[in-house]
Structure 1
Amino acid sequence: MKTKRTVVIVATLDTKGEAAAYLRDEIASWGLDTILIDPGVLGTPTVKPDITREEVAQAAGTTLQALIAQGKKGICIAKQTEGLCNIVKKLWDEGRLDGIVAIGGGQGTSIGTAAMRVLPVGVPKLMLSTIASGLFRFGPYVGTKDICMMHSVTDILDVNAISRPILRNAANAIAGMALRHPAPPQQEKPVIAVTQLGITTPCVMRVKAILETKGYQIVPFHANGSGGPAMEDLIEAGKFAGVIDLSVHEVIDGIYDGLAGAQNRMDALTRYAIPAVVSVGGGDYLLWESVDKAPPAYRDRPKMVHNAQMTVFQPSPEEMATAARAMIERLNRALGPTLVIIPTVGFSDMNQPGRELYNPEGNEAVIREFQAGLRPEVPLVLIPAHINDPVFADAVADCMARLLDGEKPADVAARYGAKG
């Protein structure tokens, strides 16, 4: 029987050996076992690992000597990353991993976080990185997982007056997470996922309140480019009883290279059968950091500064229709009972009469696409209201509850005057 918990430590030990050894010893001082893995390629390790770089290469189906002989850095890093991911996944499957921490610069962060992303959400993950600051975008490293990114401040080379307390804090952080993981089991209510934006929050809050009274637990995902894909990963992991994809801004941003775009949104519905209520919240704007950073063609469009890092721009009716067609193509392949519900007055807070980005022509273009394009098994419900009006939230909650009760989408839609 396992008596001690284990933290896996990832570091290239030719340059990070001293820091990795200090991190290992600090973690061990908590009474934890450690497994130190070296995914490096060149140089000589200055500390003995528990899993060598040669073993990492073997886990990728090759040898370290063969990789070095090729003389191609990109191939070496890709294969060592593959091997590390395979090892970490195996350790998890065998019950030999209760948390993982990695240290590194650009390459070390890429390799370390790749291994973290093979682990389920909820497993403690900490990346102490030189690039966890500045203008670097963290999306490629974090992906859809719960990775804690910690800035190392100094480069990671040795243990010195500045790096020592930072390394110790990292050790204490991962040790504390590992010692407290997993949470005590408890009986959970059936879970419904919902996508949310600040501009659709009033609707989500009302939907949440209604469905909670029916015995469901609501888990919101911020549709910011990673939230939607994270939800879809968990859909395919079987974590939800139903999904309300209310806020789908990631679709239009994904098509037009906006800041919060996500490719292949809604694909999970084509691979996993789950009751789904889908709307068009946030499908009525494009997002860039500022006017200066927006493509020139959009700079003179109606716009609204959301904050210092985000400015929203009004798409054309055709751009909104294009996003609608992308949604329709995936919804028509949905495996589970699916219903689309659209608020005809506006799809976000600033798209309503009197507001900055009111776009009735765009709204109508979207509605026409859904009316023409959905297959009969995916009915369309139109509610003459704004997305944040209580009557619309009530209809969303009711449709979700009825689908979960086993009512057919066409029968649910008929209650709102839709024809099957």
Structure 2
Amino acid sequence: MLTLIPFVMIRGAHLPTLVVVGLTSFGSTTTATNLASTLLMERSFDVLAFHARGTGGRAAEQFVRNGQIHAMLDLTTTEVADEVVGGDFSAGPERLEAAGNAGIPQVILPGAIDMVNFGPPDTIPKRFAGRHFLRHTPTVTLMRTTEAENRLIADFVARKLTRATGPTGVVLPTRGFSAYDILGGPFFDEAADRAFIETLRSSLPPHVRVLELDAHINDPMVAKHSVELLSELIERQDNR
């Protein structure tokens, strides 16, 4: 059930009986987010889903700050790629800060960080000429991120999670980060994905749980393990 609840400040306190989980989604991570939503609701969590196209990420952060979200399954962090590289769907430099500042449980995945989002081809900045593009729709053009960009994206994520005050975990699917980033797909780039994974793993402090899975982000096992990890972190927070 998708539910809004009254304003509740939970930092430093037990979680409420009704736990609302924020879940970020995108077209190319829909399979994962749909299953994750189902699994969360089977565990009696309420789910608020946010479309990660800039406004969605900003809304999720604001809901956390307002106390309307008690845990985050941030499965789709593509907005960070847009912020770091210069795309149209950035949620701003504060993305990934609210949950850590509030001290709520969170699990982060690299959903769709293999792409930067632009409008029609004639709107793409000239500095990106010659890059690997994909026409997603008549109004949306996707650009594949490089190894160097993925390292910068990982640095951004690591800085935010290092400062988190609540239970934090990361799930890293090694076989691709979106429906396009899959073996045989137009954005599959194992070296670029590995650059993100290795940079993030080496940059995170010991208190951040890291789970690396030999699977694609849309494989059922990724949603399953992500929900299990978040549930463990929620239980840890509630037992403090």
Aligned to 2:157: 327
How does the TM-score come out when normalised to structure 2?
A: 0.88
Question: What residue is the counterpart of 1:353 in the other structure?
Answer: 183
- Give the match for residue 233 of structure 1: 62
Q: Corresponding residue for 1:391?
A: 221
Distance in 2 between residues matched to 1:321 and 1:284, nearest whole Å: 12
Higher Rg of the two aligned structures: 1
1:189 CA displacement: 3.9
C-alpha deviation, 1:329, in angstroms: 0.3
Higher relative contact order structure (alpha carbons within 8 Å, sequence separation ≥ 6):
2
Deviations 1:371-407 (A, max 9, x none): 2100000121101100000111111111111111227
Partner of 2:118: 288
Change (3 A) 1:379 1:190: closer
Counting aligned pairs with the same residue, the percent is 28
Q: Which residue of 1 aligns with 2:31?
A: 202
TM-score normalised to structure 1 length: 0.51
Does 2:63 match 1:256?
no
1:172-183 matches, within 5 Å, as none
What is the aligned counterpart of 1:265 among 74, 95, 98?
Answer: 95
Contact 1:228 1:250 (C-alpha < 8 Å) held by counterparts: yes
Q: Deviations over 1:293-338 (max 9, x none)?
A: 2122323222211111100011211111101101100100001100
Whole-Å separation in 1 of the counterparts to 2:180 and 2:199: 22
Matched, 1:316 2:146: yes
CA–CA separation in structure 2 for the residues paired with 1:406 and 1:340: 16
Conservation of the 8 A alpha-carbon contact between 1:292 and 1:299:
no
- Distance in 1, matches of 2:47 and 2:213, equals 23
Counterpart for residue 190 of structure 1: 19
Partner of 2:231: 401
3-state SS in 2 of match to 1:259: coil
Q: Which runs of 5+ in 2 are unaligned?
A: 6-16
Q: Partner of 1:375 in structure 2?
A: 205
Q: How far apart in 2 are the matches of 1:269 and 1:215?
A: 21
SS at structure 2 position matched to 1:351: coil
Shifted more, 285-294 versus 203-212: the winner is: 285-294
| DSSP-derived class of the 1:271 partner | helix
Describe how 1:49-198 pairs up with structure 2 within 5 A.
189-198=18-27
Q: Which SS does the other structure have where 2:134 is aligned?
A: strand
Q: Quick one: which of 21, 37, 45 aligns to 1:216?
A: 45
Q: Deviations over 1:86-123 (max 9, x none)?
A: xxxxxxxxxxxxxxxxxxxxxxxxxxxxxxxxxxx99x
Confirm or deny: 8 A CA contact 1:269 1:331 kept in the other structure: no
- Kept in 2, the 8 Å contact 1:248–1:283? The answer is yes
1:209-267 CA distance string (max 9 Å, x none) = 11111111111101101111111111011112211111111111012221101222111
Count of residues in correspondence between the two structures: 223
User: Which stretches of structure 1, 4 residues or longer, exceed 6 Å deviation after superposition?
Assistant: none
Taking the aligned partners of 2:205 and 2:99, their CA distance within structure 1 comes to 15
State the distance in 2 between where 1:346 and 1:339 align.
Answer: 19
**Alignment RMSD (CA, Å):** 1.8
